Amino acid sequence: MMTSTDLKKHREILFSKFPPGQVPEAADDLKRLEEVEVAARTEKRAVGVTYELQQHTLEELEGHLEDKGYHLDNTLMSKLTRALIHYVEDTQLHNLGAPEKRLKRSADEAYVKAWEHRPHGDHDDTPPEWREYK
């Protein structure tokens, strides 16, 4: 079961070295969005963001910045980290719509219920003369 603390995300968006000076501008740009807390971390070339997963995703925030012309860090490690975070957030959002409990108590219960509703006895539709064919 997910709690509200599981849905509050604290992330860092890393920027490339060039062009310089992107961090303060990007932080100001993100501050205009609702439901996002932003902290510029100039020494790390990053912007810290805090958001609720139901309101925003990292992929959406990064897309917003890229649409505005900002250049994110494209090192292999950054790309892998971002891809993993995007996957995890998508999975969490998908699971929010999934039922919390299993539909059946056991894997066999569905078959037991189906068997109970089926008429019992000899239900072979094959004609008797074909069943005893030798």
pTM of the predicted model as reported, rounded to 2 decimal places: 0.72
The pLDDT value given to residue 125: 76
Give the model confidence (pLDDT) of 4-47 as tens digits.
778 999 999 999 999 999 999 999 999 999 999 999 999 999 99
Other CB atoms closer than 10 Å to residue 70's CB: what's the count? 20
Residue 122 C-alpha from the chain's centroid: 50
Convert the pLDDT of each residue in 101-127 to its tens digit: 555 556 666 666 776 677 666 666 777
Cβ atoms within 10 A of the Cβ of 68, count?
11
Whole-number pLDDT of residue 130: 80
